[in-house]
Amino acid sequence: MTTIDNTTNPLTRLGQRIASGQATVGIFGLGYVGLPLALRFAEVGIKVIGFDIDLNKVQLLNQGQSYIERLTPALVQAAQSQGFEATADFSRTQELDALIICVPTPLNAQREPDLSFIVNTVEAALPYMQEGQLMSLESTTWPGTTEEILAPRLQTRGLVPGRNCALVFSPEREDPGNPHYGTKDIPKVIGGMTASCLKLGQALYELAIQTMVPVSSTKAAEMTKLLENIHRSVNIGLVNEMKIVADKMGINIHEVIDAAATKPFGFVPYKPGPGLGGHCIPIDPFYLTWKAREYGVNTRFIELAGEINHHMPHWVVGKVADALNDHGKAVKGSRILVLGLAYKKNIDDTRESPAIEIMDLLQAKGARIAYSDPHVPVFPQKRDYVFDLLSLALDAASVASFDCIVLATDHDNFDYALLQAHGRLIVDTRGRITAGKNVVTA
């Protein structure tokens, strides 16, 4: 049996660098997950290099600017004072002690997992990796990804997790717009390929995160993330279906939910809406259903919730058509204003936003579309949707000029009294506006 010299063991050296605060951390993917994490590590004095293939993001960050509303330029500049910099040069991977991957994991056209962003990132960094580095995957994915996709690639370079490198999975838990929980406050789940991998990963994250939640394996950590979001998807699907039933019966579902929520046990209130948005909840359930087929399991319950939630934008458009019809108008030719482009209130994140699908469906029916969102001044670039639009400023005249207003996202800084006073017809998908003759709940 070979005796390991701890003075030259690369994992021992890595542990010493982490413990001394000398480790350099690389964050791969500087979006809504990666950038907050990068700024948090910098905040506690860790040198951070941020990697992104979007040269515009790299340039803005290196100029001390930000492209995410809640992450102010002052936060970026404070990070720069601690050595933070952004780059598109993957050769700088060789400067790192730890690589944290925070890239998208979308679905393809067949609603199957697309791991191309993960694979491309790993393969771009791999030629510059060396012994004594730690790799952490944060991107949501199916159970088995870390050991089946990442570990074999590391081994092609002679990097064996637990022997001369460390490999962990620690799912992101960002909640944009949550005033109570930021990056440092949200307990962080982590699983390692080996016990030594877990120990090193936990030591790294403990520099920046207050509470760590270690689990037995990377698979358990991957499944934990999926369970969290499937739990929400299923419950939102239930309440969205209840909304449709209540609507047919002439019952206000929001009143019912508020009443049920007074029960001090056994009930958790979920709010219905126009569909699911954000990168996680509309996508993550399909990662598990896809992987479950490999084991001969048909996840009918999860898929049914997904079908209900996926249908909600179509149901909203049907409600808009009915409401316009009751006012003697057709969707075709009507001027329709969609309020709120972000997927939830008080943020600027439009990923998978149902508001955008509602806009697309209405425009396909011949409506003339505009939108207003104080958090999204310019319609963002999307793979599947193209609108050459700017956010419309709201006043009495602009509100009154539309045949119909669809409240898709209930930002707090919308003037709801103005909308109700001057809107000809309002279709409210969030239960935010007090009922009136010109208000239809959808």
Among 206, 224, 242, which residue terminates a domain?
224
Judge whether 424 lies within some domain: yes
Verify that 201 and 266 share a domain, yes or no.
no
pLDDT at 5 over 80: no
Verify that 100 and 170 share a domain, yes or no.
yes
Q: What is the mean pLDDT of residues 56-60?
A: 97
Judge whether 28 lies within some domain: yes
Verify that 162 and 281 share a domain, yes or no.
no
Predicted confidence (pLDDT) per residue in 161-177, tens digit? 999 999 999 999 988 88
Verify that 276 and 391 share a domain, yes or no.
yes
Verify that 126 and 275 share a domain, yes or no.
no
Instruction: Count how many domains the chain has.
Output: 2
Q: Give the range with max mean pLDDT: 110-114, 224-228, 294-298.
A: 224-228
Q: What integer pLDDT is reported at residue 1 of this predicted model? A: 31
Verify that 201 and 267 share a domain, yes or no.
no
Judge whether 1 lies within some domain: no
Predicted confidence (pLDDT) per residue in 383-392, tens digit? 889 899 999 9
Q: What integer pLDDT is reported at residue 3 of this predicted model? A: 38
Residue 348, C-beta contacts closer than 8 angstroms, at least 6 positions apart = 68, 69, 70, 342, 375, 376
Percent of the chain exceeding pLDDT 70 equals 98
Q: What is the mean pLDDT of residues 225-251?
A: 95
Range of the domain at 394: 253-441
Confidence of residue 2 (pLDDT cuts 50, 70, 90): very low
SS3 assignment, position 363:
helix
Q: What is the mean pLDDT of residues 402-419?
A: 97
Verify that 156 and 59 share a domain, yes or no.
yes
pLDDT at 215 over 80: yes
Residue 6, Cβ neighbours under 10 Å: how many? 11
Verify that 392 and 430 share a domain, yes or no.
yes
Q: What is the mean pLDDT of residues 209-222?
A: 98
Verify that 217 and 272 share a domain, yes or no.
no
Residue of 165, 197, 280, 404 marked active site: 280
Judge whether 240 lies within some domain: no
Among 178, 205, 224, which residue terminates a domain?
224
pLDDT at 4 over 50: no
Residue 175 sits in a domain whose CATH number is: 3.40.50.720
Q: Do 255 and 292 form a contact (C-beta atoms < 8 A)?
A: no
Predicted confidence (pLDDT) per residue in 137-146, tens digit? 999 999 999 9
Q: What integer pLDDT is reported at residue 8 of this predicted model? A: 74
Question: Over 343-359, what HEC string results?
Answer: CCCCCCCCCCCHHHHHH
Judge whether 309 lies within some domain: yes
Among 207, 224, 241, which residue terminates a domain?
224
Q: What integer pLDDT is reported at residue 7 of this predicted model? A: 54
Judge whether 60 lies within some domain: yes
- HSE (CB half, 13 Å, CA atoms) of 248? 6
Average pLDDT, the chain: 94
Is 165 a residue of the active site? no
Verify that 257 and 398 share a domain, yes or no.
yes
Judge whether 237 lies within some domain: no
Q: What is the mean pLDDT of residues 371-395?
A: 94
SS3 assignment, position 252:
coil
Judge whether 239 lies within some domain: no
Verify that 172 and 297 share a domain, yes or no.
no
Verify that 381 and 425 share a domain, yes or no.
yes
Furthest-apart CA atoms within the chain: distance in Å: 86
pLDDT at 303 over 70: yes
Least confident of 29-38, 89-98, 294-303, 324-333: 294-303
How far is Cα 149 from Cα 129, in angstroms, rounded to an integer?
A: 16
Q: What integer pLDDT is reported at residue 316 of this predicted model? A: 98
